Amino acid sequence: MNNFKDLYKKREFAVFSLLVLLVVAVGIVNPVFLKVDTLNGVLDNSLILVLIALGEMFVLLTSGIDVSLGAITGLSAVVAGLSLNAGISYPVSIIYALGAALAAGMFNGFGVTVLEVPPIIMTLGTMGALRGLMYIITGGSWIDTIPIGFKSMSGITFLGISVFAWIVIALAVFLTVLVKKVRAARIFYYIGDNEEGAFFMGVSVKKGLFVAYSLAGLFAGLAGIVFVSRIGFIPMQTGSGQELRAIAACVLGGVSLSGGVGIPLSALVGGLFLTTIDSVLVFLKVPAFWNDAIAGAILIIVVLLDFRVRMLINEREKQERLKYVKRDRQKTGVLQ
Amino acid sequence: MKIKGEIFKRWEFIIFLLLLLEILVFGFFNSSFLNIKNILYSTTDFAHISLVALPLTLVIITGGIDISIASIMGLTSIVIGSTWSLGAPIQVAVSLGLLSGIAAGTFNGFLVAYTDIQPLVITLGTMFLYSGIATGIAGSLGASGYNGIGDFPEGFLSFAYGSIGFIPSSMIYIILFALFLGFILHRHWLGRSIYLIGVNVNTALYNGIKVKLVIVLTYTLTGLGSAIAGILLTSYFTSARSDLGSEALLPALTAVVLGGTNILGGSGTIIGTFIAAIFLGILKQGLMALGVTNNVSQVVIGLVLIVAVAAKLFFTKLKMNSGNSKIQTE
Amino acid sequence: MIHGEKIPDSEMRKDLVELNGIWKSFNGVAVLRGVNLDLKSGEIHALLGGNGSGKSTLMKILSGIYRKNAGTIRISGEECNFLNPSQAHESGIYLVPQEPKIFPNLSIEENIIIGTSYTLGSKTEEIKKMGQQLGFSESLSRPAGILSIAGQQLLEILRGLLRNVKILILDEPTSTLTFREVESLFKQLRNLKNQGIGVFFISHRINEILEIADRVSVLRDGNFVLDKPVAQLNETTLINAMLPDDRISKKIEETSQKKIAEGLAPLLKIRNLTGEAFNGISFSVMPGEIVGLAGVVGAGRTELAEGIVGIDKNVTGEVIIGNESFSQRSPGRSRKKGIVYVPEDRAAHGIFLDLQNLYTTSSSILSEMGKLFISNKKERQLGEYFIKKLGIKTNGPKQISRTLSGGNQQKIVISRAMACNPKVIILDEPTRGVDAEAREDVYDIIKSLIDLDVGILLISSDLEEVIRLSDRILVMYRGEIIEELSKDESTIERVTSGAFGVAG
């Protein structure tokens, strides 16, 4: 029974199995879906969401939340686009974009740790401010003259899979190893699992929180760069609403909003799952406008199932313990 | 005696002063702003925000949150539009729209009250679900484009554009809804239970408060407010669309928090949210009158939110510290 | 103060811990009055004492959680002054708190090394070996949340061992354990002892102390009154040591003077009530009667009360009110039937600290405060009535409860119960954290309630209080009523013996 409990906690595997099942099932209904190009397309479409979800995960691990990541993605895209159009070299443009995103993340971290503003308020405020800032620095017009060279970066493939996809997957795997093996990277788990206990054991909680929000900003920045290269133009609503999809991806992948649970692979699997749902409907001949309804329903069903299983496990443990207590009482009586 | 002095120390009063100051400043740049009629009409664009922010206050006082409000607005709008376009009388269409909003809110509340899943996760899921259903219906009817479903009768359109004397009808709905919720929150057992749950849910349980029922009802009321806002927006834009009000979440939450409600629950008032919503509505209009675009004013609103909460936290801390020195702990 | 002073070699060196003249007071009330205590290596030294005798405070000073006001602490002969728990850890002292501080989602191994400079995996073998010696069989890679309380305590002990602990402090480790778990814990303690580790063992259970300890010290009113090897002790000597010296001469003042009328039906009957922490409980409460429920912390009294009013629903057996069996209990339904519970943990379950006083007072009877809307006037009158009646020191019903003293907060909690107009009130530790003056007020309130024929179930760890107030005393030990004493039979010796598991 305990092993069952451990296994169920690894939700990223359960959702991954579900994802494979879904792909196979859709493939049976419509074999076109199983073509390499189709699956590659799904993978490429998921990259932006996965990157934002990776950043969001660090914040969620600390039992915080960041709703400004979509806006940071937009900011990063705008900074990259303007820099490129100003004739700045690719690497420097990327550094500018990432720098802006990191600064936004650090601003969130400052608000949460120094001003002690609750995370949802702090990041909501930043979200509004950054969206406005995007308009200010662009004058409100789309950026659609991205250099061809920058756009073609997203087309480079290696072993049939785009380099961007390789990078994102490698990043997710690397981060998973990092947070599992490196002591300093465990701090997010300590804070989220038992903040008081962490403080008691000498963990610097504020430092951990600051780093988490900064990292989240940085990853949203990466997402912005992928956006510029893949999409090739930057509308004002770039990244809009992506933070909520990223949170949904994390939750689907097994990250708990109460903190301390989840790994970077959760974000990858959850992001892939949401993107796949968006793609499969077309192949099942269901109109695409039902995408969100199905994604929302699946999210609710997954968390409700999770809740039921937890309740069952708790109930069983309680009964088990009661049985022990009763057996003890019968055996020994109250007084020895 | 002492109570009277207290009023001036209250957050609601500070916000009210800020509101007056705001009107004076904008009036200084543009004297037409000092006209009461203009002030009232300047908030029409913001009416749907006020209508959801008011009941959202109750949810947040219990320690919950609802981020599906914008989706419920769109759902309500599409339900009205689709039933109307399928031939139902407008009264029936509006009633069904209202019911769908209430049902959506109640469903949120039910999931929050009867599971231990965080309200944010639940309403995140239903946010996608409701807006997805709305776009699904709209798409099925071939009305997913910018124009949505239109051709509503005159009577329905006057819902948003009517007025009594110089008071625009949307202002009247807000005031009526605020009075209704104000009485519930500050005078009815339901409202009292909302505070008790927000301050200490365990004590509320031990003292026999019907915690689950109260929580469900706060989300139901939020669904109701979102539905009214959806109806108003449909009337205002003379068409039903699934994405109506989709930008409402940030300003609505800002109004609640700026109005003095603690995002972690336990305190807040309807009057505070009401004043803060008007403050934000006028801020937007005023900035626009000064030539600041809608989008730039977002920067201001976002920063106002952060600064207000940080300042409030700072002052409560000061107060707590001076209070704590009197009461010995340990 | 005499840092680096040479210590005579002979016997002192064996002393792991030496506490001299430790003073500690809170808010000007002395809890420890110059106590001396020592611990030798390979010794299990049990500390015994009533509630508030200062055992836990002393151990918290030793482990760096509290700071002493005066006195010296020597560890292995060297004077120490700990400012925080980590410094104490470095000196080889580890306190296992009553409620272990674990990270439920992290692996057991990580829980153990957290806060040290070891990396994950570098100490696996060592921890495994230590775990084996302790009989800790759980795989280290599993999340700590799966552990029982006993397992969590072993985890805490492993944390200490990994930090090379020489002095282990266990604060009431057995209060939440089953017999089986206690046995296994004791086996492990003996193991540790053989490795030369010294153990301070705080417990309320005399037979356990006699079983495991080498030496016992009894703390009473901030001073040790006994310090002897266990071989020279038995149940009676230990109980006697805990009792006040003047117990023979001091006649406990009678508070309850109401004669209970003959032939009345009981207000509340409990029949064979069984839950996780209590077993087969049966008793009844008559109108105007105070039934005392005595016992030590962890005896199952609070759990019983919560089972009666339906806060804990996982309970079998019957609660009978009047002649009706009352099933599907909840606090709200219990109130309607006339039973209210004044909980033990005031801040967590009893009062709305950040709201006005009258909000707590009226919280259970909101539906009676007006037809459609709560009547301001009616509610204020209710608040003012109780402020006057219970002598609550406050600016008025609208003052925020957090700014009141503990005693006055307690009166607010009681006013909530009284406002329900109950037939039976269950008072759980009604005078804990309450100053002497307010305590007498609470007693007066209880007296006024029985004058109104309200039945009272009084749960208290203050045995003198139970004896003074109760018409009848039920003594609970490990979840069962092991003794029922009439007013005449209730002596402090008998109640203490029962509460500490020694049946008279």
Residues whose CB falls within 8 Å of the CB of residue C20, separated by 6 or more in sequence, listed in order: C36, C71, C72, C73, C74
Structure tokens at C232: 């020279």
CA of C287 vs chain A CAs: smallest distance (Å): 31
B274 pLDDT band, cuts 50/70/90, is very high
Chain C environment of A193 (Cβ under 8 Å): 103-106
Q: Is C188 exposed, middle or buried (0-12, 13-18, 19+ CB in 10 A)?
A: middle
Task: Please give the sequence-ordered ranges of beta strands (E in DSSP) within C252-315, or none if there are none.
Answer: 268-274, 281-285, 290-294
Amino acid identity of residue B269, one-letter, is T
> C469 φ, ψ to 5°?
-95, -30
Please state the pTM of the whole predicted model.
Answer: 0.86
Give the residue-averaged pLDDT of C134-145: 82
Per-residue tokens: A261: 């649970």
Give the Cα separation of B125 and A250 in Å (integer).
12
Q: What whole-number distance in Å separates Cα of residue B260 and Cα of residue B185? A: 15
Token pair of A230, please?
């893949």
Taking only the tens place, the pLDDT of each residue in B276-305 is: 999 998 888 888 888 777 777 788 888 888
H or E, element range at A179? helix A163-181
Instruction: Report yes or no on A332 lying in a domain.
Output: no
pLDDT at A332 over 80: no
Q: Which of C108-122, C246-260, C290-304 has the highest mean pLDDT?
A: C290-304
Question: Exposure pattern of A72-102 as b/e (b: 16+ CB <10 Å)?
Answer: bbbbbbbbbbbbbeeeeebeebbebbbebbb
What does the mean pLDDT of chain B come to? Answer: 87
Measured CA to CA, the distance from residue C166 to residue C66 in angstroms comes to 20
CB contact under 8 A, C85 and A200: yes
The end-to-end CA distance of chain C, in Å, is 49
d(CA A128, CA A67): 10
- B interface mutation test: which of C333, C342, C349 has the most B CBs within 10 A? C349
- Both tokens of B202, joined, read 């365990």
Chains near C, with 3+ CB pairs < 8 A? A, B
Residue C349 is nearest to which of B2, B195, B203, comparing CB atoms?
Answer: B203
Strands (E), C275-314: 281-285, 290-294
Query: Alpha-carbon dihedral of residues C349, C364, C315, A321, nearest 10 degrees?
Result: -20
A/B interface, count of CB pairs below 8 Å: 151
Helix, strand or coil for residue B326? coil
Cβ distance C178 to A261 less than 8 Å, yes or no, reads: no
Stretch B246-261: mean pLDDT: 89
Residue B193 — pLDDT band, cuts 50, 70, 90? very high
Please indicate if any CB of chain C lies within 8 Å of the CB of B179.
Answer: no
Please give the average per-residue pLDDT across C453-477, as a whole number: 89
Chain C hits for B321, Cβ within 8 Å: none
Kindly determine whether residue A120 and residue B65, on different chains, have CB atoms separated by under 8 Å. yes
**What per-residue confidence (pLDDT) applies to C489?**
85
Separation of alpha carbons A244 and A267, rounded Å? 13
Q: Would an 8 Å CB–CB cutoff place C418 in contact with chain B?
A: no
Q: Which of A123, A131, A289 to mutate to test the interface with B (most CBs of B within 10 A)?
A: A289
Helix (H) or strand (E) holding A16: helix A11-29
Question: Residue C331 is nearest to which of B2, B205, B326, comparing CB atoms?
Answer: B205
Q: SS3 for C175-232, per residue?
A: CCCCHHHHHHHHHHHHHHHHCCCEEEEECCCHHHHHHHCCEEEEEECCEEEEEEEHHH
How many beta-carbon contacts under 8 Å exist across A and C? Answer: 77
pLDDT band at C3 (very low <50, low <70, confident <90, very high): very low
A129 in any annotated domain: yes
What pLDDT sits at residue C243? Answer: 76
Contacts of A147 (CB under 8 A, 6+ apart): A84
Whether the predicted pLDDT of B139 surpasses 60: yes
Residue with tokens 């117990």: C247
Could you report the per-residue pLDDT of C37-80, keeping only the tens digit for each?
999 989 999 998 876 678 888 998 998 888 888 899 988 888 88
Interface-testing mutation among C102, C103, C279, with chain A (most A C-beta atoms within 10 A): C103
- For residue B144, the model assigns a pLDDT of 63
Helices B90-114 and B69-85, axial angle in degrees (round to 10): 150
- Can you read off the two tokens belonging to residue B225? 């407010």
Which element (helix H / strand E) includes A20? helix A11-29
Q: Does A115 touch chain B (CB under 8 A)?
A: yes
How do residues A289-328 score in pLDDT, each as one tens digit?
888 898 899 889 988 988 888 888 888 877 877 777 777 6
Sheet holding C268-274, edge to edge: C281-285, C268-274, C316-321, C324-325
Residue A336 lies inside a defined structural domain of this protein: no
* Nearest Cα to Cα of residue C214 among C49, C76, C41, C63: C41
pLDDT category at C9 given cuts 50, 70, 90 is very low
pLDDT at residue number B296: 78
Residue B240 near residue B234 (C-beta atoms within 8 A): yes
Question: Mean pLDDT, to the nearest integer, of C129-153?
Answer: 81
Helix residue spans in B33-140 (DSSP H) = 36-42, 47-61, 69-85, 90-114, 119-140
β-strands C455-460, C290-294 pairing: parallel
Q: Which residue of chain C has the CA closest to A3?
A: C142
Nearest Cα of chain C lies from the Cα of A211 at a distance, in angstroms, of 19
Pairing of β C268-274 and β C78-80: unpaired
| CA separation for the pair B307, B201 (Å, rounded) | 29
Residue B112 has pLDDT above 60, yes or no: yes
Q: Which of C35, C24, C94 is nearest to C57 (CA)?
A: C24
Gap from A261 CA to chain C (nearest CA, Å): 7
Q: What pLDDT, on a 0 to 100 scale, did the predictor assign at position C13?
A: 41
Q: Based on the structure, what is the number of domains in chain A? A: 1
C98 CA to chain B: closest CA distance, Å?
18
Q: What is the DSSP letter of C135?
A: T
In this predicted structure, the answer to whether residue C20 has a pLDDT above a threshold of 70 is yes
Distances (CA, A) of C34 to C12, C25, C53, C56, C57: 20, 11, 13, 15, 13
Residue A132 resides in a domain: yes
What residues make up the domain containing A131? 2-327
Question: Rounded to the nearest 5 degrees, what angle is found at the Cα of C216, between the Cα atoms of C214 and C221?
Answer: 165
Query: Residue A244: which of B122, B127, B303 has the nearest Cβ?
Result: B127
Q: Mean per-residue pLDDT for A179-193?
A: 86
Share of chain C above pLDDT 70, in %: 92
| pLDDT, position C126 | 87
C-beta of residue C353 within 8 angstroms of C-beta of residue C360: no
Question: Which domains, from first to last, does chain B contain?
Answer: 2-318 (1.10.3470)
Closest CA to C449 of C472, C426, C428: C426
C316: β partners: C274
pLDDT at A212: 96
Touching subunits for chain A (3+ Cβ pairs under 8 A): B, C
Question: A257 and B121: CB-CB below 8 Å?
Answer: yes
Residue A335 lies in a domain: no
Interchain contact B329–C (C-beta under 8 A): no
Place of tokens 């689907």: A252
Q: Check whether C88 has a pLDDT greater than 80.
A: yes
Q: Which residue has the tokens 């996982």?
A: C314
- Mutation pick from C363, C365, C373, C395 vs chain B, by most beta carbons of B within 10 Å, is C363
Chain B residues near residue C359 by CB distance under 8 angstroms: 192, 195-196
Under a CB-based contact definition with an 8 Å cutoff, are residues A256 and A190 in contact? no
User: CA B262 to CA B248: how far, in whole Å?
Assistant: 20
Q: ∠A172-A178-A180 over CA atoms, to 5°? A: 105
- pLDDT of res. C45: 94
pLDDT at residue A331 greater than cutoff 80: no
Q: What tokens appear for C71 in the block?
A: 């006195």
ipTM: 0.86
Residues of C in contact with B326 (CB under 8 A): 403
User: Chain-wide mean pLDDT for chain C?
Assistant: 84
Q: What is the pLDDT of residues A67-92, one digit of tens each?
A: 999 999 999 999 999 998 888 888 89
Q: How far is B146 from chain C (nearest CA, A)?
A: 46
Question: Is residue A334, in this structure, part of any structural domain at all?
Answer: no
3-state secondary structure A192-210: HHCHHHHHHCCCCHHHHHH
Residue pair C303/C275 in contact by the 8 Å Cβ criterion: yes
Does the pLDDT at position B60 exceed 80? Answer: yes
Residue A303, in any domain of the structure = yes
Q: CB under 8 Å to B20, separation ≥6 — which residues?
A: none
* A312/chain C closest Cα distance in angstroms: 14
Residue of B nearest to A117 (CA): B310
**Residue in B49, B84, B25 with CA at minimum distance from that of residue B258:** B49
**Residue B326 near chain C (CB below 8 Å):** yes
Q: Which residues of A touch B118 (CB under 8 A)?
A: 257-258
β-pairing, C15-26 vs C29-40, is antiparallel
User: For A215-225, what is each residue's pLDDT tens digit?
Assistant: 999 999 999 99
Contact criterion met (CB < 8 Å) for B263 and A292: no
pLDDT in tens, B206-237: 999 999 999 999 999 999 999 999 999 999 88
Return the ∠ at Cα C27 (arms to C23 and C29), rounded to 5°. 50
Chain A residues near residue B53 by CB distance under 8 angstroms: none
Compute the average pLDDT of residues C248-277: 69
Asked if C374 is an interface residue toward chain B (Cβ–Cβ < 8 A), one would say: yes
Work out the pLDDT band at A188, boundaries 50, 70, 90: very high
Place of tokens 């303690």: C189
CB spacing of C372 vs B204 below 8 angstroms = no
Strands C167-171 and C93-96: parallel
The minimum CA-CA distance between C333 and chain A, rounded to whole Å, is 25
Express each pLDDT in A253-299 by its tens digit: 888 888 888 889 999 999 999 998 888 888 888 888 888 898 899 88
Is residue A264, in this structure, part of any structural domain at all?
yes
| pLDDT of A96 strictly over 80 | yes
Residue C66: phi, psi to the nearest 5?
A: -110, 160
Looking at per-residue pLDDT, the higher value among C255 and C385 belongs to C385
Q: Which residue among C26, C355, C367 sits closest to B195, beta carbon to beta carbon?
A: C355
Q: A320: distance to nearest CA of chain B, Å?
A: 23
Nearest Cβ partner of B189 from C311, C335, C367? Answer: C367
B209 Cβ under 8 Å from any chain C Cβ: yes
pLDDT of residue B148: 74
Among A132, A288, A304, the residue with its CB nearest the CB of B298 is: A132
Q: How far apart, in whole angstroms, are the C-alpha atoms of residue A36 and residue B286? A: 55
What average pLDDT does this structure show over C237-266? 63
8 A C-beta contact, residue B68 and residue B75: no
As a whole number of angstroms, the distance between CA A72 and CA C194 comes to 61
Name the residue facing B296 among A126, A135, A290 (closest C-beta). A135
Residue that wins the pLDDT comparison between C135 and B224: B224
Report phi then psi at C26, rounded to 5: -115, 130
| Residue-level length of chain B | 330
Q: Tens digits of per-residue pLDDT, B239-248?
A: 888 888 888 8
* Across B140-149, B166-175, C129-138, least confident range: B140-149
Q: Does A133 contact B299 at a Cβ distance shorter than 8 Å?
A: yes
Give B296's Cβ-side CA count (13 Å radius): 14
User: Which CATH number does the domain housing residue A106 bear?
Assistant: 1.10.3470
Return the amino acid letter for C257: Q
